[in-house]
Structure 1
């Protein structure tokens, strides 16, 4: 039977009017099969009202409510789920199973501008009644599926970002606080425990400026730390004040760097290194405080 028919042959009472023009597209998608089932049933709207009882209570309170429901009319503009479910229970349209009806009803409610709280409230009203879901699982609406998917993506991205920042911070911590590592110095492994921070001395006269091409170990000789091995960072600029037997003193500090490191991994020329005075014989000059 066509859903555009106003009445079926043999049905008593006034003919059922057409679907109202204000009914949305998705609303019509579930309403038309309902109307087809109504015309095929030969039931009157009053009989449908009587058959809509659940636990002795009529869910479709009058034939007028049934007529409104089948036309997509009514003061609410879009019917509540319990009314639609009651009509489905009575008519049982073969081409509109309950799960499809529920999905279309939810989409139609969204199309009609109903809020998710209204939709969820309508579905919760019929839990435990005929046709209600028995799984107890929360209802997820199409619009909410998108929101939930976006939320999951944002959470994952946030976790990835946090982990990345944490790894970078931890890596920097290892560099600055010196996770113990080793440098191959001939046949020996030399532990490098920290990077030093060297600032230029206030007076760079009588010093030799060199720039490192890689990390280079340095030794600290002071009253509080004898023989502590640390490291100068690649691309650091050092100012050498004087030379010892096989090392050079970094101006303004108590740090010394081995000659072979400078010759291999810095801009220093052998003749410039040899031109530096022996430590203890150079003229005093202004310098910065020892740094570490």
Structure 2
């Protein structure tokens, strides 16, 4: 009997050691330190949800329309790391904020960045009422040791071009030592035109191009965004269309894909390629 108990205890301890070993392995590979700085444009169907990670920091742009983003984020974050340092809401359409209430319920949110425009949606009213809300506009920045985030639009908080809430989207520039990434929400050609004026001023001042390495293309690659003049100036190496399979809007637009191909821009579509991961 004693020998049987000893063997049982040995087997029990062996299983425990094995579990601890695999837990540590999983934690290492889920640790953002193991991957360095990266952008993850998550495949969440017909919506947007983008996770940006750097040395333990987590930044989230939009939440998709359901709980898909919640589970994706868990798969990319270290076990026990339930902090999202900044949640950036590009604009209040449901396919960008429908999953936010689940996320703010499960994660510790540092700040919530919004462009405070009027829009009737319960999720938007909840987000606007949070104590951690920050109303952002052109020139607002935040940085880590490796990354710099800069708001390019709205020029003033509460700004919307025309009556289309897509054109209230926060446009964000992310810079690392080697790369520039542009996040445009659902901003359409009228906002792109305003941004081109800003980019031209910067190029004149710095006597350099405004080259973008990765573009999260506007409005799910609708024909109303990613105008040819805009693409020619920012000249992205890669563009990503966040869109759902068989969506009713027929995103991405064939016209936009044609523009990418004409300009030699490598493009990825989330419903075909899944999550797109870009190392910064």
Which one has more relative contact order, counting CA pairs under 8 Å at least 6 apart? Answer: 2
Q: TM-score, normalization: structure 1? A: 0.24
Larger radius of gyration: 1
Q: Going by fraction, where is strand more abundant, 1 or 2?
A: 2
